[in-house]
């Protein structure tokens, strides 16, 4: 068989797998080759060397091994020797003539290829580049500076370090998303330390680390701050396991810090002293976000820090910072682009609004505003001078009413993104529709999600109003207590460009409140009309019909969240068969069983992950899946209360090239 | 509904930060649901018992609605529960949305559909657990100390029904 052609076939197969793995995030780490042969290849590479930066000579050897596995007619090392000088890389591969004589890419010197590829940022594009041919694969891996790993267990740090020798920036995500809602027990895993340990030798010049839903300890933060001397940017989102002591280490030791972004973490807040640990010599800070920390920091230290960091463009303070303190801070950094305020009220109410009147008048670059805790009609006007330029306004911690919001929004013509609490009601949303024609993203959060007696909030009417006035809407997250099929159909007509549609009708299994019918037609309308839809979250009373629609029409769908929906296995089967680009499927409390689970047997490897909890899946079916698909990790989480041992109450399935987890806690069973 | 101790134990709601002790509460309610409890229809249900009545009273389910833990803790409950003598349901009101007593009392009356000839007087329970007449203390102090409200029915002599 023509070896070249064999290679091509393999490339196609990987290609189609990859095209399903589309994501809007930067540089996705595709598991190092998805071809079965490649796993062997990786293993043979690894066994010969650790993840350290290889010396020059070894790199050539590496390539040789890689090549010889794949091609049955490669010419051997003799040709490399001559090419060794000058290039520490795989360019010498080019010298080999493919004995099948088939056409090859016209050759660039490697420096040109790499220079060109260095300009390719999107990880999707980089994945495609790496599949073209071996030259390009190698040029890509050497030129990559940022790696994105959407599931920390899909690959090991050693494999990453082996493939990408020159990484400066890593994005790493850990726990399944439903851990945000307490569905994943503590100590599940996703510890960042094993990654840091490998990176400390493989990437001593690492500059950026962005973690989401990872377990992070203070020791890890200290390790990070001490082992990576050029470290610049740390972002922690929805992580847990650390305290403000860890932040102290970062502030103290990271001499070149440009970014410290702490958001929504399960952090043990032991006090605000960490902020005072920034040395006087630190002037490089560009992004500082400690809005989600509760303890008071030293205002004096903060003021001095802000004054000396002339490049500061993002500052988000916590609620303890008062209005007059904020005013002082703003006087030092008028260049800010993004601001998160502290509390937006003053205790002494004695006609003080005038003293804050000019607080924002010098902030000519401000485009994002958030915080605004406790904002009342008395002080909100203070931000009006800045409103015309705002593109993102986050009011999701301000309990505004409809009239307050309307007054505010009348100044905000440029808004593209708006986050609200449902205290603004339908009337407030009418104001959104009237005032913000450029709006692309709207998120409406429930002020009181767990109280069932409350009848406030927003309804279908508010959503429809927004859709009428904001035809450019592409991203919506909407929590409500009632909805109708007709309203959603209207919304879909008004806003055909939805890419993200997340509707949460808060009472599980609630039908159209007017017709009493299931909400199938609502989501049917969305998927039929909004052909660009990438992400969908459904709710309300839903039968298999909804899933039939999704499978039939949602051809660009990548992420689907399902709860309390469906009538039978068919529902899940429709989706698995029809949604070619599906990457993440998370399901809870649905009547999907073994047949549904196993219908996706050939699909799961083209996806990042599947979550199923409180469905009808048994351990045996999970075992079958695990046996048939060794490149998937099939994990079952045991309930504390015991219950039926044959049922698999929480199932997490994901593709991996790293094999079963070695750090699984006792309650996680890998089948 | 018993008036002894105002009989409001069933409406007990901690006004601490949301999420505190919540996991426990959620677990309890889920258990109730399994036992088939929580079957009282909610008379204030505007959806008119739409669809499956059972769904309406499914109780609090773990991890639902899908609001992340941080946000649950961060949204301070500014709403205060208001009950009314003789009414088997509660309303909630955002005290911080008002500038003073007159606005506030009018809103309270609107909340229950009471007219001007109102035979109800609002009282509130403060931080110390004492029941006070609304209007007794300065407005700011009231907004800080009010934990819950009740619309007390006046008796014919203009006073309030006495209670323990």
**Minimal C-alpha gap between A522 and chain B (Å):** 16
Q: For tokens 């490049």, what's the residue?
A: A311
Looking at residue A357, what is its pLDDT? 82
Which DSSP category does A618 fall into?
Answer: B
Provide CB contacts within 8 A for A47, sequence distance 6+: none
The number of C-alpha atoms within 13 Å of A214 and in the hemisphere containing its C-beta is: 27
Which of the two residues, A93 and A312, has the higher pLDDT score?
A312
Q: Looking at residues A92-108, what average pLDDT do you find?
A: 49
| Partner residue facing B65 (CB), from A453, A455, A479 | A479
Which of the two residues, B39 and A523, has the higher pLDDT score?
A523
Provide CB contacts within 8 A for B107, sequence distance 6+: B93, B98
Measured CA to CA, the distance from residue A246 to residue A260 in angstroms comes to: 12
Q: Which helix (H) or strand (E) holds A242?
A: strand A240-243
Measured CA to CA, the distance from residue A193 to residue A214 in angstroms comes to: 10
Measured CA to CA, the distance from residue A519 to residue A507 in angstroms comes to: 13
Q: Which of B15, B51, B53 to mutate to test the interface with A (most CBs of A within 10 A)?
A: B51
Phi and psi torsions of A373, nearest 5°: -60, 145
Which of the two residues, A102 and A572, has the higher pLDDT score?
A572
Across the interface, whether the CB atoms of B90 and A448 are under 8 A apart is answered no
The number of C-alpha atoms within 13 Å of A199 and in the hemisphere containing its C-beta is: 28
The two three-digit tokens of residue A101, written as one number: 């004589």
List of chain A residues whose C-beta atoms are within 8 Å of the C-beta of residue B68: 180-181, 238, 264
Looking at residue A346, what is its pLDDT? 66
The two three-digit tokens of residue A422, written as one number: 């449902």
Residue-wise pLDDT for A329-353, tens only, equals 999 999 999 999 998 876 654 445 5
Measured CA to CA, the distance from residue B120 to residue A388 in angstroms comes to: 47
Q: Which helix (H) or strand (E) holds A326?
A: helix A323-332
Are A639 and A186 in contact, with CB atoms under 8 Å apart?
no
Measured CA to CA, the distance from residue B161 to residue B159 in angstroms comes to: 7
Across the interface, whether the CB atoms of B50 and A448 are under 8 A apart is answered no
| Partner residue facing B23 (CB), from A180, A182, A448 | A182
Looking at residue A28, what is its pLDDT? 43
Q: DSSP 3-state assignment of A56?
A: helix
Q: Say whether the ipTM exceeds 0.85.
A: no
Separation in Å, CA A412 to CA A340, A435, A543, A622, B51: 17, 7, 41, 52, 41
Are A549 and A526 in contact, with CB atoms under 8 Å apart?
no
Q: Residue A43: which pLDDT band, with cuts at 50, 70 and 90?
A: very low
Measured CA to CA, the distance from residue A299 to residue A557 in angstroms comes to: 47
Q: In chain A, positions 3-22, which contact chain B (CB-CB < 8 Å)? A: none
Q: Residue A641: which pLDDT band, with cuts at 50, 70 and 90?
A: low
Across the interface, whether the CB atoms of A264 and B71 are under 8 A apart is answered yes
Give the residue from chain A lying closest to B67, CA to CA.
A181
Asked if the C-beta of A456 comes within 8 angstroms of chain B's C-beta atoms, the answer is yes
**Minimal C-alpha gap between B154 and chain A (Å):** 26
Q: Which of A290, A445, A450, A484 to mutate to test the interface with B (most CBs of B within 10 A)?
A: A450
Measured CA to CA, the distance from residue B41 to residue B58 in angstroms comes to: 11
Across the interface, whether the CB atoms of B63 and A510 are under 8 A apart is answered no
Residue-wise pLDDT for B83-125, tens only, equals 888 887 777 777 766 778 888 888 888 777 777 667 888 999 8
Q: Please list the pLDDT of chain B residue by residue as tens digits (164 residues).
A: 444 445 454 455 544 454 444 444 333 333 223 333 333 333 333 333 333 333 333 446 788 999 988 887 776 545 678 888 888 777 777 776 677 888 888 888 877 777 766 788 899 988 778 899 999 888 877 877 787 899 988 876 655 655 44
Measured CA to CA, the distance from residue A579 to residue A457 in angstroms comes to: 34
Residue-wise pLDDT for A195-207, tens only, equals 999 999 999 999 9
Among A168-172, A396-400, B136-140, the range of highest mean pLDDT = A168-172
Per-chain mean pLDDT for chain A: 85
Tell me which residues of chain B have a C-beta less than 8 Å from any C-beta of chain A.
18, 22-23, 42, 44, 46-47, 50-52, 55-58, 60-72, 74-75, 77-79, 89-92, 94, 96-97
Measured CA to CA, the distance from residue B74 to residue A417 in angstroms comes to: 21
List of chain A residues whose C-beta atoms are within 8 Å of the C-beta of residue B96: 374, 376, 399
Phi and psi torsions of A409, nearest 5°: -65, -25
CA distance from start to end of chain B: 14
Looking at residue A348, what is its pLDDT? 53
Looking at residue B70, what is its pLDDT? 82
Are A240 and A213 in contact, with CB atoms under 8 Å apart?
no
CA distance from start to end of chain A: 38
Across the interface, whether the CB atoms of A513 and B22 are under 8 A apart is answered no
User: What percentage of chain A reaches a pLDDT higher than 70?
Assistant: 81
Cα–Cα–Cα angle for A608, A612, A616, nearest 5°?
A: 145
pLDDT at A32 over 80: no
pLDDT at A628 over 90: yes
Residue A346, Cβ density class (10 Å: 0-12 exposed, 13-18 middle, ≥19 buried): middle
Residue-wise pLDDT for A256-265, tens only, equals 999 999 998 8
Q: Looking at residues A482-496, what average pLDDT do you find?
A: 98
Measured CA to CA, the distance from residue A540 to residue A518 in angstroms comes to: 7
Measured CA to CA, the distance from residue A73 to residue A75 in angstroms comes to: 6
Measured CA to CA, the distance from residue A31 to residue A555 in angstroms comes to: 24
Nearest Cα to Cα of residue A480 among A456, A450, A504:
A504
Among A23-37, A113-127, A340-354, B51-65, the range of highest mean pLDDT = A113-127
Looking at residue B31, what is its pLDDT? 29
Looking at residue B162, what is its pLDDT? 53
Give the residue from chain A lying closest to B48, CA to CA.
A513
The two three-digit tokens of residue A132, written as one number: 């073209």
The two three-digit tokens of residue A620, written as one number: 């045996």
List of chain A residues whose C-beta atoms are within 8 Å of the C-beta of residue B90: 453
Measured CA to CA, the distance from residue A196 to residue A203 in angstroms comes to: 9
Across the interface, whether the CB atoms of B51 and A421 are under 8 A apart is answered no
Looking at residue A204, what is its pLDDT? 97
Looking at residue A105, what is its pLDDT? 57
Across the interface, whether the CB atoms of B55 and A506 are under 8 A apart is answered no
User: What percentage of chain A reaches a pLDDT higher than 90?
Assistant: 71
Separation in Å, CA A249 to CA A169, A262, A465, B79: 20, 14, 49, 40
């Amino acid at each position: 068989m023509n070896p070249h052609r064999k290679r091509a076939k393999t490339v196609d197969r990987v290609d189609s797998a990859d095209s399903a793995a589309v994501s809007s995030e930067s540089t996705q780490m595709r598991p190092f080759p998805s071809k079965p042969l490649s796993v062997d290849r990786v293993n043979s590479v690894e066994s010969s060397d650790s993840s350290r930066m290889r010396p020059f000579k070894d790199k050539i050897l590496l390539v040789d091994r890689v090549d010889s596995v794949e091609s049955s007619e490669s010419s051997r090392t003799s040709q490399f020797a001559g090419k060794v000088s000058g290039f520490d890389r795989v360019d010498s591969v080019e010298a080999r003539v493919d004995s099948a004589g088939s056409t090859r890419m016209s050759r660039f010197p490697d420096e040109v290829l790499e220079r060109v590829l260095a300009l390719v940022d999107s990880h999707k594009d980089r994945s495609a580049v790496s599949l073209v041919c071996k030259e390009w694969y190698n040029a890509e891996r050497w030129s990559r500076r940022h790696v994105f790993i959407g599931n920390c267990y899909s690959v090991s740090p050693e494999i990453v370090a082996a493939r990408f020798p020159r990484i400066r920036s890593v994005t790493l995500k850990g726990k399944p998303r439903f851990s945000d809602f307490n569905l994943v027990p503590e100590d599940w895993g996703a510890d960042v330390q094993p990654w840091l340990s490998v990176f400390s030798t493989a990437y001593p010049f690492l500059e950026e680390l962005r973690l989401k839903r990872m377990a992070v300890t203070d020791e890890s933060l200290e390790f990070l701050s001490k082992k990576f001397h050029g470290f610049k940017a740390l972002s922690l989102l929805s992580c847990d396991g650390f305290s403000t002591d860890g932040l102290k280490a970062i502030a103290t030791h990271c001499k070149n810090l440009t970014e410290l972004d702490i958001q929504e973490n399960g952090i043990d807040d032991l006090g605000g002293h960490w902020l005072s640990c920034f040395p006087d010599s630190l002037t490089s800070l560009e992004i500082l976000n400690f809005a989600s920390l509760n303890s008071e920091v030293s205002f004096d230290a903060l003021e001095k820090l802000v004054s000396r960091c002339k490049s500061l463009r993002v500052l988000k303070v916590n609620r303890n910072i008062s209005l007059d303190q904020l005013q002082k801070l703003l006087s030092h950094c008028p260049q800010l682009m993004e601001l998160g305020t502290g509390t937006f009220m003053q205790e002494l109410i004695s006609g003080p609004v005038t003293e804050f009147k000019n607080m924002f008048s010098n902030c000519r670059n401000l485009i994002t505003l958030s915080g605004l805790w406790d904002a009342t009609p008395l002080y909100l006007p203070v931000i009006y001078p800045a409103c015309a330029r705002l593109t993102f306004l986050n009011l999701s911690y301000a309990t505004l009413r409809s009239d307050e919001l309307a007054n505010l929004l009348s100044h905000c013509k440029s808004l593209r993104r708006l986050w609200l609490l449902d205290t603004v009601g339908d009337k407030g949303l009418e104001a959104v529709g009237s005032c913000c024609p450029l709006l692309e993203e709207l998120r409406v959060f429930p002020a009181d999600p767990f109280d069932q007696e409350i009848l406030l909030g927003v309804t279908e009417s508010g959503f429809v109003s927004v859709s009428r006035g904001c035809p450019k809407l592409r991203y919506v997250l909407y929590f409500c207590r009632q909805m109708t099929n007709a309203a959603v159909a209207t919304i879909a007509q008004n806003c055909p460009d939805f890419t993200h549609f997340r509707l949460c009708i808060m009472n599980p299994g609630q039908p159209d409140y007017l017709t009493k019918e299931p909400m199938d037609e609502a989501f049917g309308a969305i998927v039929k009309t909004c052909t660009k839809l990438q992400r969908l979250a459904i709710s309300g009373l839903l039968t298999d019909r909804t899933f039939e629609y999704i499978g039939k029409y949602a051809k660009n769908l990548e992420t689907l969240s399902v709860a309390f929906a469906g009538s039978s296995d068919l529902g899940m089967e429709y989706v698995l068969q029809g949604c070619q680009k599906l990457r993440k499927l998370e399901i809870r409390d649905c009547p999907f069983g073994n047949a549904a689970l196993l219908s996706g047997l050939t699909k799961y490897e083209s996806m990042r992950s599947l979550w199923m909890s409180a469905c009808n899946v048994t351990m045996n079916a999970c075992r079958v899946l695990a046996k048939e698909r060794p490149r998937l990790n099939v994990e079952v989480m045991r309930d504390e209360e015991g219950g039926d041992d044959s049922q698999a109450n929480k199932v997490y399935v994901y593709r991996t090239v790293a094999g079963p987890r070695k750090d699984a806690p006792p309650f996680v069973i890998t089948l | 509904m018993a008036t002894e101790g105002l009989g409001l134990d069933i409406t007990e709601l901690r006004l601490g930060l949301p999420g505190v002790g919540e996991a426990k509460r959620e677990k309890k309610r889920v258990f109730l649901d399994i036992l088939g409890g929580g079957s009282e229809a909610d008379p204030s249900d505007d959806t008119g018992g739409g669809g499956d009545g059972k769904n309406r009273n499914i109780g609090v389910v773990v991890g639902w609605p899908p609001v992340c833990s941080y946000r649950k803790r961060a949204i301070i409950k500014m709403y205060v529960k208001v009950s009314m003598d003789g009414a088997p349901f509660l309303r909630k009101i955002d005290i911080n949305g008002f500038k003073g007593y007159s606005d506030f009392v009018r809103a309270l009356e609107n909340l229950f559909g009471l007219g001007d000839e109102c035979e109800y007087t609002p009282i509130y329970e403060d931080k110390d657990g004492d029941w006070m007449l609304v209007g007794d203390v300065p407005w700011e102090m009231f907004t800080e100390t009010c934990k819950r409200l009740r619309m007390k029915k006046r008796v014919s002599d203009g006073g309030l029904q006495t209670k323990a």
